[in-house]
Structure 1
């Protein structure tokens, strides 16, 4: 284990997850990437594992294996999917699938790693929610489960605080340069420009903006901060933003 600790980062193969992994690696952490694909980049302290987090059994197997091989100190659950649809086109299966990815996978990973955190009297859990937890058009399944992350994380914060384990949420607004964002908003489009203009800071977020918030919560200095939600959104959570 590195001096800083060992962090699981889900969805670290690209976008926000990759920025988080690189920020933690730069600070001396060992990082275990859990994603559908291995990152296209490497680092001596990066261990990449492939797993489909939609698959509960595969997630359980990966979590148990990591817990056997590593003393995990940090869990960053970033992996996410939107499944944008109008309410009448959204199905219960969409909600169930995103509940497994956004909630179930996090619970499984925590369940496997928290015994060591409790034993050590130290742990950091950072869950990536979304500004969409406040409501967003066409995001029934996404908003529901990203809001669920907040309720789940606040509950974990209460349960785990006596053991020196903090649990906090980072809720990004629109973040440019990620596959998930550009599947809905084409890069360089008028829609992208209009969205940036509607944000109080007059720009879209970058993956590094989110990584900086995660790094803050991950640090030992953040030992008296738990159960909190940090919106990294350029002010979009303060007013009305139509995406």
Structure 2
């Protein structure tokens, strides 16, 4: 079910969290995976590459800054040189920095929007020509419940960027549907990753523990929960799903209104 055999997937933010879990999931389903990583983040991309190769699939690691157009274009060029096509592109890389609105200067605003929103568009734009020529493609993006479904204190820039992804996905889905390309996003709830464990900018360990106790499923999410949803959306079984925001939050929105 949900075979990805011989598909080529590009994943940004692939060294940790949701990106790493999705890379492993896609490889287990039969896909070759291009792992876009950003070294200053300090995550171990070699472990993810090893997991993809252990599944019997090919892995290509490409240093990528999604905040830079030339870097994203080079990512797709490297993918085409190695594999000849791009079937699946997951724009997952993002940053989240806590900042009170009165202290949010232009530089901090633009940094977050440049990576979290424009970075998604750069990935989509670079992958589109190959997908259009092939008459098939899966464009995927990691949005958030923040902005689209709920308010996060001191994250106005992050919320604006993530909400913008939803509008982008819907508009682009209508445009490229006739070309055999679907465009979807996932809105994760609270997922236990290095980002959410950062108490300075997110919940921290104590906040995650408390959130898990109050959610309907009595836990926070794992990266693998989001990877499973991406697996479906990336597959041919999801050919009739496009322009959709899939909320994967353990029922969080049910109790937050």
Instruction: Give the TM-score normalised by the residue count of structure 1.
Output: 0.91
**Structure 1 residues 64, 50: CA separation in 2 closer, same or farther (over 3 Å shift)?**
same
Q: Matched residue of 2:175: which SS?
A: helix
In the other structure, the counterpart of 1:182 is: 197
Q: Distance in 1 between matches of 2:235 and 2:71?
A: 30
In the other structure, the counterpart of 2:68 is: 55
Q: Could you tell me whether the CA contact under 8 Å between 1:6 and 1:74 is conserved in 2?
A: yes
Q: Could you tell me whether the CA contact under 8 Å between 2:184 and 2:233 is conserved in 1?
A: yes
Q: Unaligned stretches of 5+ in structure 1?
A: none
In the other structure, the counterpart of 2:7 is: 5
In the other structure, the counterpart of 1:106 is: 120
Q: Distance in 2 between matches of 1:138 and 1:200?
A: 25
Q: Distance in 1 between matches of 2:105 and 2:189?
A: 25
1:137-184 residue CA offsets vs partner (Å, 9 max, x unmatched):
1111111000001000111100110011100110101111x1111113
1:115-150 residue CA offsets vs partner (Å, 9 max, x unmatched):
221122111111110111222111111110000010
**Residue 31 of structure 2 corresponds to residue 25 of structure 1:** no
**Structure 1 residues 98, 63: CA separation in 2 closer, same or farther (over 3 Å shift)?**
farther
In the other structure, the counterpart of 1:155 is: 171
Q: Distance in 1 between matches of 2:121 and 2:80?
A: 14
Q: Could you tell me whether the CA contact under 8 Å between 1:4 and 1:27 is conserved in 2?
A: no
Instruction: Give the TM-score normalised by the residue count of structure 2.
Output: 0.86
RMSD: 1.8
Q: Matched residue of 2:62: which SS?
A: strand
Q: Distance in 2 between matches of 1:180 and 1:171?
A: 15
CA shift, 1:68, in A, is 4.5
In the other structure, the counterpart of 1:81 is: 95
CA shift, 1:201, in A, is 1.8
Q: Unaligned stretches of 5+ in structure 2?
A: none
Q: Distance in 1 between matches of 2:74 and 2:107?
A: 23
CA shift, 1:208, in A, is 0.4
**Residue 129 of structure 2 corresponds to residue 115 of structure 1:** yes
Q: Distance in 2 between matches of 1:68 and 1:108?
A: 19
1:203-224 residue CA offsets vs partner (Å, 9 max, x unmatched):
1000000001100100101101
Equivalenced residues, count: 237
In the other structure, the counterpart of 1:90 is: 104
CA shift, 1:57, in A, is 3.2
Q: Matched residue of 2:252: which SS?
A: coil
In the other structure, the counterpart of 1:209 is: 225
Q: Distance in 1 between matches of 2:62 and 2:33?
A: 11
